[in-house]
Amino acid sequence: MPEIHHTDLLIVGAGPAGYTAAIYGARASLNPVLVTGLQPGGQLTITTDVENYPGFASPIQGPWLMDQMREQAEKVGTRLIYDLITEASLKNGPDKEGYFSLKGDSGTEYKAKTVIIATGAQAKWLGLESEKRLQAGGVSACATCDGFFYRGKTVAVVGGGNTAVEEALYLANLANKVHLIHRKDNLKAERILQKRLMDNPKIVIHWNREVIEAIGSGSPEVVTGVRLKDTDTGNTEILDVDGLFIAIGHTPNTGPFLHEVKCDKEGYIITEPDGTATSVPGVFAAGDIQDRIFRQAVTAAGTGCMAALEAERYLSHIPAMTKT
């Protein structure tokens, strides 16, 4: 017989949103169970120096911050289970006993009166070995997270959509020079963004180019350049840069929830304008799984707090609902 966990609040995902929801849920005596997924700690586990999380005057390490959140969540009463949710039955509402049903890869069943989905989103990468090797040495997928480290330096941004252009414009406020690398001869970004890009003297556009290698040196190894390939001729060249920002989009980790709650065309969960409620009463979403704009640790934590408070409010407004 598979193991079955009953809880007032099930949290799926162990990033800033999930851990914060767990902390608030535990303090509200909701006896939360948090299922971690494949990457406990989320994107911050591959982030080195974090300088923009409030409360720390000196840079902190992303994995350390996630360890602190995990320990706090456990200390206040959260049960952490290292499992991956593979099935969810949400769209028809709770069963006659008031529970939503979910199942993990381990075969464990989870029965929850409320659910918070906080599974995050993954940055899309180019798929280069050198890109992966240098992710802690100058390759990033978040300009607002890491741009500060390149004040007065030269950086490259890869992409041609709104995200890439916005990142290039943001970095131009910090760096001396920004190279925008796009594999086509036209951008997909909105016209007004393209005009701002073209008008910025600090930004150089490299048309019909793709990055085939991130070049690094030193110990520890850091980015010193990128190798570009001309998509028309096949010729290659090396561009000297201090940082490389990949801005080709994100993939929301919607997984088994894609057809259980309302999502947009890219798979991000749609929530109420001023909250975290999904299309299914009793099911909430927090963090990057529903935030395609900001994608910051602090905003994810904020929506995690909101989701837990909304879950508590949902339970308190159902007269027949008693705590597990």
Q: What is the mean pLDDT of residues 32-53?
A: 85
The yes-or-no verdict on residue 45 having pLDDT over 80 is no
Domains of the chain, earliest start first: 4-122+250-316 (3.50.50.60), 126-247 (3.50.50.60)
Give the number of other Cβ atoms within 10 Å of residue 173's Cβ.
Answer: 12
Q: What is the mean pLDDT of residues 116-136?
A: 95
Q: What is the mean pLDDT of residues 29-55?
A: 87
Looking at residue 319, what is its pLDDT? 60
CA distance 266 to 113: 28
Which residue numbers are catalytic?
142, 145-146
Q: What is the mean pLDDT of residues 60-86?
A: 96
User: What confidence tens digit (pLDDT) does each residue in 262-310 have?
Assistant: 999 999 999 999 999 999 999 999 999 999 888 899 999 999 999 999 9
Looking at residue 2, what is its pLDDT? 80
> What's the chain's length in residues?
324
Looking at residue 231, what is its pLDDT? 97
pLDDT bin (cut points 50, 70, 90) of residue 321 is very low
Sign of CA dihedral 117, 256, 62, 126: negative
**Selected residue with higher pLDDT from 323 and 179:** 179
For the sheet containing 243-246, what is the strand order?
139-140, 243-246, 154-158, 177-181, 203-206
Candidates 149, 211, 148; CA nearest to 179 is 211
The yes-or-no verdict on residue 230 having pLDDT over 50 is yes
Residue with tokens 């006993």: 97
The yes-or-no verdict on residue 204 having pLDDT over 90 is yes
The yes-or-no verdict on residue 206 having pLDDT over 60 is yes
pTM of the model: 0.84
Looking at residue 324, what is its pLDDT? 56
The yes-or-no verdict on residue 323 having pLDDT over 60 is no
Candidates 78, 52, 48, 75; CA nearest to 64 is 48
Sign of CA dihedral 276, 88, 265, 188: positive
Helix axes 62-75, 16-27, angle to 10 degrees: 20
Q: What is the mean pLDDT of residues 238-256?
A: 96
